[in-house]
Amino acid sequence: MKTDRLVAAQIGCGKFAWQQDLKNLSTRSDVMLKWVCDVDPDAARRAAEHFKAPCQTTDFMEIMKDPEVDFIKIATSHEVHLPIIEAAARAGKHIFCEKPMAMTNEEGWKIISAVRRGGVKICVDLNRRMSPAIQALRRQWLAQAADPKHQAWRYIEKQREPLPEENLPHLLIRIQDESSSYGLGHLNPLSGGGEIIGESVHWLDLACWFFAPQLPCEITAWGSSRLSHGIFLRFDRGAGMTLDFSCTGTFDFPKELYEVTDNAALFRSHGFVENTYYGIPGLEPEYFPLQSDPYPEMGQGVDALMRRYLTRVQGCTNAKKLETTVPMIVDKGHIHMLNAFLDAIRKDLPSPCDELAGFRATYLAQRAIEALESKSTLPIPIEKITPCI
């Protein structure tokens, strides 16, 4: 087990890297951020200066030649994941890769092959599964499923067995996104792949993690693969996930809402700060701290989050100015994923989100696009989501 500091290199120093990676890697005592890399030399220089990285480059191959580097973090546009991962795996460096791991199934197979041949770990930042609010949601749902409890007043039909489709759990994921205020990154077919590939891999992965060991077996999708869309994913023992992704919303309100219904109970997680549970006697709401909170005195939950938000935007006349204020970030699981990955490297544990999970999310996203374009429900053959490479 490696006990001294792990040496890191950041590849891609854009918006996300500034919000999460560069800050998270440069401020912890068990990691040394040695390299920053961006094809844009100004971006590399700015990141090196601000986060005090001693080495900067525009060519990721320079990093691969440095024997000191233990792992790389990739936060580039999506089309360059494969060459970077292949080079890192050849050089024996572990890989923390932003989602989507791959844009196509073929890229995904090549990535699986590269990391297995290189004997390195890859962690794909499908971070929602590591969010404390979502982990609590699953925990409460599993507890109720194992030992259902009902309100004393509830009338439960005792004179008949449940019908086959009764008591099948369902996960509804509502995303209200605001496409008019972000760049074209995800929308470019060459470097982004559209919102199903760029974003909805998050929720396809989350559903698979949530309902494991059930496996997805059928998918339907509608709308636009580039922007607003819906997906229904069915699992082999009957669970279902409906994703409703709308690009016409507003960042003035929490983007994500998760609702699980099962066995006369509702488990609700809103904005990564508040979980409420209905239909179960005595189950109190749970509240979750923000990852970065400029106003800790303002209390907990969604209403308090809105109060924080309104205070923060008051008097702000442009987005740049807003970005320079102390960030207000809900806990979507990024740091927990990083912690688990570092642990996996140090103790030689399985990756918290490995190459198979990364591939499966891409495969399901591609399959959703096929379903959407052909206006049909498509099977998810088991051999496709468990490739033997």
Ligand X SMILES: NC(=O)c1ccc[n+]([C@@H]2O[C@H](COP(=O)([O-])OP(=O)(O)OC[C@H]3O[C@@H](n4cnc5c(N)ncnc54)[C@H](O)[C@@H]3O)[C@@H](O)[C@H]2O)c1
Tell me if 38 contacts ligand X by CB under 6 A.
yes
Question: What minimum distance in Å lies between the beta carbon of 190 and ligand X?
Answer: 12
362 forms part of the interface with ligand X (CB under 6 A): no
CB of 389 to ligand X, least distance (A): 23
The upper half-sphere exposure of residue 121, i.e. CA atoms within 13 Å in the direction of its Cβ, equals 20
Our CB check for ligand X shows the closer of 29 and 181 to be 181
Note whether 358 binds ligand X by CB under 6 A.
Answer: no
Task: Please give the Cα distance from 389 to 381 (Å, whole number).
Answer: 16
Rounded (5°) CA angle 232-234-239: 115
Residues in 285-344 at the binding interface with ligand X, rule: CB under 6 A:
332
72: contact with ligand X by CB under 6 A: no
Q: Does 76 bind ligand X (CB under 6 A)?
A: yes
In the complex with ligand X, which residue's Cβ is closer, 80 or 172?
80
Question: Residue 126 CB, nearest distance to ligand X (Å)?
Answer: 7
| Shortest Cβ 142–ligand X spacing (Å) | 25
Q: Where are the beta strands (DSSP E) in the chain?
A: 6-11, 31-37, 55-57, 71-74, 94-98, 122-125, 170-176, 216-223, 229-235, 240-246, 256-262, 265-270, 274-278, 286-287, 378-379
**In the sheet that 216-223 helps form, which strands lie side by side, from edge to edge?**
286-287, 274-278, 265-270, 256-262, 170-176, 240-246, 229-235, 216-223, 378-379
| Binding window for ligand X (CB under 6 A); candidates: 69-77, 204-212, 289-297, 379-387 | 69-77
Q: Is 16 in the site for ligand X (CB under 6 A)?
A: yes
Tokens of 154: 């509830």
Find the binder of ligand X among 7, 12, 245, 368 (CB under 6 A): 12
Residue 223 sits in the site that holds ligand X (CB under 6 A): no
Does the protein bind ligand X through residue 261 (CB under 6 A)? no
The β-bridge relationship of strands 71-74 and 240-246 is unpaired
According to CB under 6 A, which one of 73, 93, 94, 99 is a site residue for ligand X? 99
Task: Measure the CA–CA gap between 295 and 309, rounded to whole angstroms.
Answer: 10
Residue type, 262: D
* Shorter beta-carbon distance to ligand X: residue 39 or 145: 39
Q: How many CB atoms lie within 10 A of CB 142?
A: 12
> Which token pair is 374?
């052909």
Residues numbered 191-210 forming contacts with ligand X, rule: CB under 6 A: 198
Which x/- pattern, by CB under 6 A, does the window 112-131 give for ligand X? Answer: -------------x-x----
Which residues, at least 6 apart from 84, have a Cβ–Cβ distance to it below 8 Å? 11, 60, 72, 74, 76
**Token pair of 82 as six digits:** 């494969």
Among 148, 185, 223, 294, binds ligand X (CB under 6 A): 185
> Pick from 8, 22, 37, 63: which binds ligand X (CB under 6 A)?
37
Binding residue (CB under 6 A) for ligand X from 35, 51, 60, 341: 60
Q: Which is nearer to ligand X, 62 or 218 (CB)?
A: 62
Q: CB nearest ligand X: which residue?
A: 14
Backbone dihedral region for residue 260 (phi beyond 0: left; psi -120 to 50: alpha; all else: beta) = beta
Q: Is the dihedral of CA 320, 325, 326, 331 positive or negative?
A: negative
Tell me how many residues contact ligand X (CB under 6 A): 25
Residue with tokens 């069915």: 234
Residues making contact with ligand X (CB under 6 A):
11-17, 37-40, 43, 60, 75-78, 80, 98-99, 125, 127, 185, 198, 332
